[in-house]
Amino acid sequence: MQLARRMDDIAESITLAVTAKANALKKQGVDVVSFGAGEPDFDTPGFIKEAAIKALQAGRTKYEPTPGTVEARKAIAEKLKRENGLEYAAEQITISVGGKHALYLAFQAVLNPGDEVIIPAPYWVSYPEMVKLAGGVPVIVRGDPANNFKITRTQLDKALTDKTRMFIMNSPSNPGGHTYEPSELDELSYALARFPEVWVCSDEIYEKLIYGDTQFRSWAALDWAKWKDRTITCNCLSKTFAMTGWRIGYTAGPKPLIAAMSKLQSQMTSNITSFCYPAIVEAYTNPQSGVEVEKMRQEFERRGEHMWKRLNAIAGMECVRPTGAFYCFPNIGALLNKPLGKKGVVSQEAVAFCTAVLEEAHVALVPGNDFGFADHVRLSFATSMGNIDKGLDRLAAFLGNG
Ligand code: PMP
Ligand code: GLU
């Protein structure tokens, strides 16, 4: 059987694969603690669910406009103005099937074969693959763990060429758990200013999950060089409102870009699920939303601090303190190439290490290889305190720290 050549060039999403493996083991009766999936363990707030239920019961079961209803796009535009200081008309917003689809459409809409896309590492697994699917060439710039994984202006300067077409900014970051301060975004913008044809794709899906005194600012809100005219702002409801399964994402940007993305979507998925639109309006207009989001944020912050402290207490693990999202991304370099666990398994990189941990300790971690760091592993702290302690007890025991 012959499949398209492009299938040889892309990897399956490791985050989803690890989660599927952990779930399959659980189904077989194995008591697995999963730090795999990056998804809130909370349920979607009831009033958001109610809006969709009511719409469904009222017969909202037909096709809708591809980029979304005017009401939902307006609610998003008002959110962007209120929370991000960004003025967009409803026609400058398109709603897609999750943040993933929004990013995929954006890359398809602006990249030509051979265009270079600068991606800071560690990066979310899907960026390089989606760039390649659009014919682009990922150019990886490695953030130094000593600088909390953040890349510098000098590094960005060096990576920019005449072929660069896009720069991807993901702050707060998956998997690094780091967040760029507004002044650090300014620094990077000075390097990019020399290349006015380069788009900035700002993936802001973790904007609400920031910790300590960390500040978030949208890239498009940079107040010089008309950044808004060449910034693609992608976001979704998945993480903020614990709605990963709903598959709702959106993009704000210049009108021609949004029209192009909508045209593409019209040939792919059409509109998102019809009865979800009123839920978007509810999420962004009900005053209770802020309260619910803040409750979840506080709990993530508590768990993140706890996980970070515990990981650093394990000999051989070194972890940057998370300032955003819900991931710890410890370095396991000191644990490679030596026998571990009862079976004395020797791992040379993170995939083998995670396999050994899953098989012997029944703890699911995501190897850092597909995030661009083969000597790191990712743990999601979007799981209960009880699970965090249980999983880390097992991990510590596996590593001889029990
Ligand atoms: N961007 C990042 C950085 C992510 O971690 C994810 C994973 N959820 C997405 C985009 C995609 O989000 P969604 O689940 O809404 O497709
Ligand atoms: N983004 C989440 C993660 O990194 C969900 C899985 C995915 O879409 O990659 O775990």
Q: Phi, psi (5° rounding) for residue 119?
A: -125, 115
Domain boundaries, the chain: 6-43+290-398, 47-286
pLDDT, tens only, 14-70: 888 888 888 999 999 999 999 998 999 999 999 999 999 999 999 999 999 999 999
Cis check for the bond before 138: say yes or no (omega within 30 of 0). Answer: no
Q: How far is CA 181 from CA 134, 203, 235, 328, in A?
A: 30, 15, 19, 19
**pLDDT tops 80 at residue 401:** no
What residue owns the CA closest to ligand 2's atom 1? 38
State which ligand 2 atom lies nearest to the alpha carbon of 38.
Answer: 10
Fold of 47-286: Aspartate Aminotransferase; domain 2 (3.40.640)
What residues does 398 pair with on adjacent strands?
none
pLDDT for residue 353: 96
Q: What distance in Å separates the CA atoms of residue 132 and residue 313, rounded to the nearest whole number?
A: 39
Q: What distance in Å separates the CA atoms of residue 77 and residue 349, rounded to the nearest whole number?
A: 45
Q: Which residues line ligand 2 (CB under 6 A)?
A: 13, 15-16, 37-39, 100, 125-126, 174
Q: What distance in Å separates the CA atoms of residue 203 and residue 169, rounded to the nearest whole number?
A: 6
Cis check for the bond before 122: say yes or no (omega within 30 of 0). Answer: yes
Measured in whole angstroms, the distance separating CA 162 from the mean position of its chain's CA atoms is 28
The pLDDT of 335-354, averaged and rounded, is: 95
**pLDDT tops 90 at residue 136:** yes
Compute, in angstroms, the gap from residue 228 CA to the centroid of ligand 1: 22
Which of the four pLDDT bands, split at 50, 70 and 90, describes residue 402?
A: low
pLDDT for residue 21: 87
Compute, in angstroms, the gap from residue 195 CA to the centroid of ligand 2: 31
**pLDDT tops 80 at residue 350:** yes
Judged by DSSP in three states, 34 sits in strand
**pLDDT tops 80 at residue 103:** yes
pLDDT, tens only, 7-16: 998 988 988 8
Q: What mean pLDDT value characterizes the chain?
A: 96
Residue of 186, 155, 149 whose CA lies nearest to 329 = 149
Beta strands per DSSP E along 58-174: 93-96, 116-121, 137-142, 164-170
pLDDT, tens only, 219-264: 999 988 789 999 999 999 999 999 999 999 999 999 999 999 999 9
pTM: 0.97
pLDDT, tens only, 255-284: 999 999 999 999 999 999 999 999 999 999
Q: Which ligand is nearest to the CA of 16?
A: 2
The pLDDT of 86-107, averaged and rounded, is: 98
Compute, in angstroms, the gap from residue 123 CA to the centroid of ligand 1: 12
**pLDDT tops 80 at residue 310:** yes
- 6-43+290-398 is classed in which CATH architecture? Alpha-Beta Complex (3.90)
Q: Side-chain half-sphere of 310: how many Cα atoms within 13 Å? A: 21
Best of 12, 21, 124 for a ligand 2 pocket test (most atoms within 8 Å of beta carbon): 124
Compute, in angstroms, the gap from residue 94 CA to the centroid of ligand 2: 21
**pLDDT tops 70 at residue 206:** yes
Instruction: Give the end-to-end CA distance of the chain in Å, rounded to a whole number.
Output: 50
State which ligand 2 atom lies nearest to the alpha carbon of 125.
Answer: 9
What residue owns the CA closest to ligand 1's atom 5? 174
Q: Which residues line ligand 1 (CB under 6 A)?
A: 38, 98-100, 124, 170, 174, 203, 205, 236, 238, 244, 249
**pLDDT tops 70 at residue 167:** yes
H helix or E strand, kind and range, residue 381: none
Best of 16, 23, 365 for a ligand 2 pocket test (most atoms within 8 Å of beta carbon): 16
pLDDT for residue 74: 98
Q: Do domains 6-43+290-398 and 47-286 have the same CATH topology?
A: no
